[in-house]
Amino acid sequence: MSNISGVFTNGAETYGRFLEVFIDGHWWVVGDALENVGKTTKRLLVNAYPFIYGGASSSFKGSSPAAAGYAKPTKDIEQRFKD
């Protein structure tokens, strides 16, 4: 331990690098969260106000029973369990 000033310098450098990674990581996480909130808000607005964003007459695609249709059974219930 002939060069004691190196210990403090190395400690300060290590702390600075840790702090830089810590802050950078938090900015990354916060940025991703805000981006996801923005995208979700945009999707909700498109569904709520379709005439503003797309001019569609229906707010949800495929929501019409005539367009989507329903499943129609082709067998009796007893026959389904016998196959």
Which residues lie closer than 8 Å to 76 by C-beta, 6 or more apart? none
The number of residues in the chain equals: 83
The whole-angstrom separation of Cα 46 and Cα 55 is 10
User: Which pLDDT value is given to residue 52?
Assistant: 74
Q: pLDDT per position in the chain (83 positions), as tens?
A: 455 667 788 888 889 898 998 898 888 899 999 999 999 988 888 878 877 766 555 445 555 555 556 666 666 777 767 76
Q: Are 48 and 59 in contact (CB under 8 A)?
A: yes
Contact 13, 6 (CB under 8 A): no
- Measured CA to CA in angstroms, residue 65 lies from 46, 48, 57, 68 at distances of 21, 20, 15, 5
Q: What is the pLDDT of residue 1?
A: 47
pLDDT value at residue 37: 93
